[in-house]
Amino acid sequence: MVKRYENLDGVSTHKTWADFRRWQRERKQKQKDLSYVVPHVSPPQYERLHEPNGRPQLCWIGHSTFVVQTGGATIVTDPVWANWMGMSKRLTAPGVPLDKMPPVDAVLISHGHYDHLHFGSLRRLPGDPHVFVPVGLARLFRRRGFRHVTELSWWETAAFRDVSLTFVPAQHWMRRTLWDTNTSHWGGWVIEANGAPTIYFAGDSGYFRGFRDIGDRFSIDYALLPIGAYEPEWFMGPQHTTPEEAVQAFLDCRARLLIPMHYGAFRLADDTPKEALDRLWAEWRRRGLEDDRLLCLKLGEVIDAAQALTSLSPFDNTLSPTDAAVEKQQTR
């Protein structure tokens, strides 16, 4: 009997073929401006990744791919350097080419969807990284010849060198073939190291109560949260946060800084990168949040994760759970 994994509270993301056809009919009626392209940092900052000199660093490659350097380890989240996703060409080149990457010590996979798990990219990463995956996914890696694989269930923690890696819930689903729907789990990762900022990588998720649970268990400095692939909201809602819901998720998990992701690389839904960013900033300012707590990184930009926190004032980001984003989720 094959195990099938579920979301918290049994929330379903299932859609019918009729739902999909409705979406495609609606899409034909829309005219979208795709002229905005997420910028690359200039000049390139590749050398900083090769010589972190003990500094905790963050770099956005694009979509959900980050380089996290902390605790003496170089970690990559959901490595996808693919130029195509299905029939859609990548909108922007990765922030750091694969041949400019430093040796990678560990890889964190949030779930098995192709825009988060691309074996071609994994095999080309420099080094011999240890791969950490959701429960149920390790067998796929081992069938493909990967030697160093550890799978975790929600709330389980693995030690890697001087880094603590905890797999945390998300609200999503998984399928790579017609036969493997939800046969492995999905989630995010909390990355902790002594003396370094705590980083929460949310993976791919709809808005759910788990963001508060994560904030209750960890003292998060950086929340890397998805803001794209939300339109049409009636179709995408359970599995992808809107920009407004991403702001609420940031408040729920009580992080100090928000870095948006999951936009600008692939056209997975009907929203555009510019629409996602405009809505994010509009909601941020509607809430009266400080601009310097929202870091919209350029592709390939490397930040000193400790230094970016030093100038921030004390921050109480506790808001009522009945705020607009939550009310919207509850009435879907």
Q: Give residue-wise pLDDT tens across range 42-90.
A: 999 999 999 998 899 999 999 999 999 999 999 999 999 999 998 889 9
Return the structure tokens found at 176. 């790579």
Confidence of residue 308 (pLDDT cuts 50, 70, 90): confident
What is the CATH class of 40-307+321-330? alpha beta
* pLDDT at site 204: 97
User: Pick from 292, 312, 226, 308: which is nearest to 56 by CA?
Assistant: 308
Which pLDDT tens digit goes with each residue over 176-189?
Answer: 998 999 999 999 99
More confident residue, 156 or 310: 156
Contacts of 260 (CB under 8 A, 6+ apart): 225, 226, 227, 243, 246, 276, 277, 280, 294, 296
Integer CA distances (angstroms), 62 to 47, 127, 239, 283, 329, in order:
18, 20, 20, 23, 27
Q: Can you point out the beta strands (E) in the chain? A: 57-62, 65-70, 73-77, 84-85, 88-89, 106-108, 130-134, 149-152, 157-160, 163-168, 188-193, 199-201, 222-226, 257-261, 302-304
Rounded to the nearest integer, the mean pLDDT of the chain is: 93
Confidence of residue 321 (pLDDT cuts 50, 70, 90): very low
Q: Is the pLDDT of residue 320 over 60?
A: no
Phi, psi of 190 (to 5 degrees): -110, 125
Exposure of 233 in the CB half-sphere (CA atoms within 13 A): 13
Beta partners for 189? 167, 201
More confident residue, 114 or 329: 114
* pLDDT at site 318: 53
Q: Give the separation between CA 205 and CA 327, rounded to whole angstroms.
A: 17
Return the structure tokens found at 120. 């071609």
Q: Is the pLDDT of residue 332 over 70?
A: no
Q: Are 255 and 303 in contact (CB under 8 A)?
A: no
DSSP label at 277? H
* pLDDT at site 315: 63
Global confidence as pTM: 0.93
Helix ranges (DSSP H) in 115-172: 119-124, 138-143
Q: Give the separation between CA 232 and CA 27, rounded to whole angstroms.
A: 9
The dihedral sign for the CA sequence 12, 14, 19, 25: positive
